[in-house]
Structure 1
C-alpha cells in the first residue's frame, strides 16, 4: 500500500527569493526582459490619438522616496525579514493599471516597512504571533499579480506593515497517484508547480493569465479563474482540503472527495484574500496530462448570433476547454479578425482519446447559429486560437507600454445570466463609453470578450483604451471604473468573476454582499484575527472587525 501515496524526497527549505530577482519587473507586469522599450511604447501609442509624445521613464530603485521604516522584527525572526528598498518597492503594489502608473511616478507611500519570507509553516506562525502583539498589519503576498489592490496596505492605523511573501513555501510535498491528488505548499508559482507534477504525468490544469507570476495560495485566496472556459473554471473545484494558519490557531480540513458535514471550512477561506488566515498548504485534485488537442475558430457577422451560439454550446454538455467569444473590437485588437466580425475560439482536449468528434459537434452548433469561415487545427497549431493565445499572454506588457505613454488601458470583468447579458452589453457601451468620453475627451475603445461560460450565463471581460492626461491617469481611470461598477450593479452582474475583491472592488462588493453574511464574516474575522492584523481593509473595513 505504500505506493498509493508517495511523499516526495525531502529537500532543504527553499532559500528566500529576492522580491526584485533580475527576471522580474518591480514596477510592471512579469518578466523584466519582456517590457517594451521606449521606441516600441511610442509606436504602440501612435495608434491611440491623443497619447503622450514620449514614454514616462522607469525610475530606479535608488531614486525612490520610500517612507521610513517604523518597526523592526525581534532577533529570533530577523533572518526572515528584509527592509531593503528593492524588497519594499517590489511589494508595495500589485499589477493593475493604477499600480503600474503610481510606480512609474515613484509614489511609494504605501510601501511596507518589512518584507518577510518564511521558509516553513512554523515561521508563519511565529511571524503572526509577533505581528499580533506589536499591532503590525500583515499583508499576504504570493507573487504580487493582484489587479484589485489585494496586496496594498491602505488602512493606516497599525504601527507598521509586514508584507508576508510565501514564495519560499514552494514544493509539492506529497502525491497520491491512486486518488490523483497532491499536497502542495501555497507559495509555489504556476510553472514550478507544473514542473514538479510533470514527471508523474499529472497536471493541476489551472492556467490563469497570470500563471507564470502567481501562486497556488494566491489562486486559492482569491478564488481565481483559470484558462479553461467551461466545467472546472475556478480553483474552488480543484480543492480537497486546506491548511490555514490564523492568529487563533491552525485550521486543517479533512481530506475527502466530498462531504455534507455542515458548512465547508474550506469555503470559509477560499476567497477570503488573506483577511481570515494564511493558506500554507492544500491537497489539490489533479488530472492526467492531455495528449489529444484540437481547436477551431468561427466567425460571425452578427455579435448577437455569436452570443446565441455560445449559449447553445455552454448548455450542450460538451464542455470545451476553450470557448472564448471576442466581439468585433476585441477580435480586431487581438489580431484574429480584420473584417469586423466576431470570433469564437474553441478548443478541446483529452488525456484518453481523440477529440476531433467533440470539436465537430461544437463547430456544428456554431454553424447552426450563423457561424462561418471555420479554421481548424490539431494541437495548438498556428490557428486563430494560437494567435489569440499569444495576444492574450502579451497583452499585460502592451498595457504597461501604453501606461508609460499615459494611455488608459485597463479591464473589468463580471458574470451575469444569459437573459441579462444583452442589456448589460448595451449599458456598458452606452454608459462606460459616455464616461470615457467625459473623462478623456475621446471616444476610446470599449471591447468585450467572454472568458468563461456556464449553462446559465457568461463571464464578460471588458477592455477600455483611451488617451489619458499626464499626471492624472489614475484619477481618470478611477472615474471610469466607478461608472463601470455602477453599470454592473444596475444590471445585476457581479462586481468580479475572477479578479477578487481586494480594495478596489470594495464599494461594489459591499452592495452585492447580503448583510447577514457580512455580519457572519465580521464575526469570523473577530474570532480568527482578534487583533485585526490580517490584510486590513479587504472584504470589510478594518474598524468593523
Structure 2
C-alpha cells in the first residue's frame, strides 16, 4: 500500500495532513504573504507536520488470516486515514494532535470482502469508519471517543470501476470507491458524463457523494447527487440491500432514500446505478457587476425563477469577488454560465444578461468583453486553489471556517446580514481581532438559495481549535434562528451534530434510531454520526 492515498495513473502523493496534493501546498513565503493580510497572525508559518513525530499506538486488534491481505497497520497509511480535511483537522495535524488514529486500514475490492470485514468487526467490537477520498470537512471520517476496542478505516478506493454501461437507458453501474477523475475517465470514451463536479471532485468518491448527499458545482437543475441515482447496493451488518433500477416509482417510501445521506451509519454503499448525460458541446459564460448587493440578490432570484436554468449562477459579494480576483472596485460579481449537449446556449445567456441588467447589473456580451472573460477565469482559478490557501493561512495560525446553508428567498438578505454581524462579533470576542467574512451563493432555486460563508481571523497560538468551535457554534445559532439548514451539501458528520439534532423532527429521529438498531445491531458503523 502507498504511504498516502495516491490517484491511479499519477505519481503525485496526497497530503496526509492537508488538502489535496502535497506538492501543491503554498511555500513558506506564500504562507507569510497570506498571513500578512490578517493582522495578528504568526511571524512565520508552522512547520509541515511529519507522521514520524506522531505517537501512534500498536493496533488494538488483529484481523484473521482470511482478511489479513486486505488490511494494513502501516503508520503512515493509518495517519492519512485519521481525519478529514476540515480546518479543525488541518490545525490539529499542524499542532501534532490529530486525535484517535485508526488501528487498521482495510481496502476491500468487492462487496463480499466488505461484508466479511463487517462480520469480523461486529464480533470483535471494532468500529468501522467508511472512507472514500477522505475529503470530509465535518468530522465525518474520524473516530472520537473510546467506546470500541479498536478502529478500522474502511477505504473503498480499490473499488473504482465502471462495471456496466446501459447506453440505451443512459446509465451506468459504478463501484462506490471511484474518485471523480477515475469515474469520468471511464465514461469519456462513451461520450457520457455523470456531470457531478463538487469542489472536491479530484479527491472524493461516488460513495462519499451518495453517503453525504453531496451537491455538485452546477447552480440549477440536477446538482445534488440524489438526482442522479437509479438504484443502490448497500452492504449492512444485517444483509445486502439492493434496489431495482427504475426511472421512478411510487411503491412506498424509497429504499434508496434510507441510505442517501446516511453517512455510513446504516451500511456501506458499494455500487450504484447512476443516470448519465451526453457530454456538453456548447458552452458560454460571462460575469455581471453590481454596485448594490441587494440588487444582485434580486437579479439572481429573477434568473432562478425563470426557465433559463444556467449551469453556473454564482454570486460573489464584494469581499469574495476581491479575494478571487474577479473584481477590484468593490462590486459584487455574478458569474453566469450555460452549457448544452444538443443546442447553442447564446440566446439563454443573452436573456439572463437582460434580467441582470434590469436589476442594475453591468455586463456585456462575453464575446466582446475582456473584463467579463477575465473575471470568470480568475474566479475559476481561485475556486480550485482556495482550499490550499486555507491551509496556508492555518500554518500562519489563522482560524478559517467555511460553512454553507440554504433558506428561502424571503429570509436570505436578513440571514446574510445576521451572519456577518453575529458571527463577526463572536470571532472578535474569541480572538480580539476583527474577522473577514465573505459570502457567495453557490446554488440557486426558484424558492431559495444556498449562501456559502468564509470566516478568517487571526487566532491565538495553541487555541485555534477552541476558537474554531466558538465560531462554529455562533454560526449554528444564527442558522437555527432563521430556520436555515445546518448544511446544504457538506453533510452532518460530527461537527454539525448539535445543530442537526435541533433541525430534524423527533419522530424521524426515532425511526432513524430504530433503523440503526436493526441494520447495525453491534453499533460499529461510524459511531457518533447522525445518532448516538
- Is TM more than 0.5 here? yes
How far residue 154 of structure 1 moved from its aligned partner, in angstroms, is 1.0
Instruction: Identify the residue that residue 418 of structure 1 maps to in structure 2.
Output: 409
From 329, 334, 343, give the equivalent of 1:339: 329
Instruction: Identify the residue that residue 34 of structure 2 maps to in structure 1.
Output: 44
Instruction: Identify the residue that residue 8 of structure 1 maps to in structure 2.
Output: none
C-alpha distance in 2, partners of 1:108/1:504? 15
TM-score (norm 2): 0.97
**Conserved in 2, the CA contact under 8 Å of 1:318 and 1:362?**
yes
**Conserved in 1, the CA contact under 8 Å of 2:89 and 2:98?**
no
Instruction: Identify the residue that residue 507 of structure 1 maps to in structure 2.
Output: 498
C-alpha distance in 2, partners of 1:149/1:109? 11
Instruction: Identify the residue that residue 12 of structure 1 maps to in structure 2.
Output: none
From 219, 224, 247, give the equivalent of 2:237: 247
Instruction: Identify the residue that residue 455 of structure 2 maps to in structure 1.
Output: 464
SS in structure 2 of the partner of residue 293 of structure 1 = strand
SS in structure 1 of the partner of residue 280 of structure 2 = coil
C-alpha distance in 2, partners of 1:223/1:126? 26
C-alpha distance in 2, partners of 1:46/1:38? 12
C-alpha distance in 2, partners of 1:500/1:165? 19
Instruction: Identify the residue that residue 135 of structure 1 maps to in structure 2.
Output: 125
From 516, 535, 538, give the equivalent of 2:507: 516
Instruction: Identify the residue that residue 386 of structure 1 maps to in structure 2.
Output: 377
Q: Does 2:290 match 1:305?
A: no
Deviations 1:149-174 (A, max 9, x none): 00011142111100000000000000
What are the equivalent positions in structure 2 for 1:468-479 lying under 5 Å apart? 468-479=459-470
Instruction: Identify the residue that residue 525 of structure 1 maps to in structure 2.
Output: 516
Q: Does 2:52 match 1:67?
A: no
SS in structure 1 of the partner of residue 366 of structure 2 = strand
| Unaligned residue ranges in structure 2 (runs of 5+) | 7-11
Instruction: Identify the residue that residue 343 of structure 2 maps to in structure 1.
Output: 353
What are the equivalent positions in structure 2 for 1:218-233 lying under 5 Å apart? 218-233=208-223
**Conserved in 1, the CA contact under 8 Å of 2:353 and 2:363?**
no
Q: Which moved more, 1:364-373 or 1:101-110?
A: 101-110
C-alpha distance in 2, partners of 1:324/1:376? 16
Q: Does 2:169 match 1:187?
A: no
From 50, 66, 71, give the equivalent of 1:76: 66
Q: Which moved more, 1:182-191 or 1:58-67?
A: 58-67
Instruction: Identify the residue that residue 419 of structure 2 maps to in structure 1.
Output: 428
Instruction: Identify the residue that residue 89 of structure 2 maps to in structure 1.
Output: 99
How far residue 410 of structure 1 moved from its aligned partner, in angstroms, is 2.0
From 382, 386, 389, give the equivalent of 1:395: 386
Instruction: Identify the residue that residue 367 of structure 1 maps to in structure 2.
Output: 357
SS in structure 2 of the partner of residue 535 of structure 1 = coil
Deviations 1:430-479 (A, max 9, x none): 11010111111111211100000000000000000110111111111110
Q: Does 2:268 match 1:283?
A: no
**Conserved in 2, the CA contact under 8 Å of 1:52 and 1:406?**
yes
Deviations 1:403-443 (A, max 9, x none): 00001122010000000111111111111010111111111
From 77, 89, 94, give the equivalent of 1:87: 77
CA separation of 1:504 and 1:377: change in aligned 2, threshold 3 A: farther
TM-score (norm 1): 0.95
C-alpha distance in 1, partners of 2:140/2:367? 39
Instruction: Identify the residue that residue 7 of structure 1 maps to in structure 2.
Output: none
How far residue 535 of structure 1 moved from its aligned partner, in angstroms, is 0.4
**Conserved in 2, the CA contact under 8 Å of 1:20 and 1:86?**
no
Deviations 1:207-249 (A, max 9, x none): 0000000000000000000000001120000000000000000
**Conserved in 2, the CA contact under 8 Å of 1:66 and 1:109?**
no
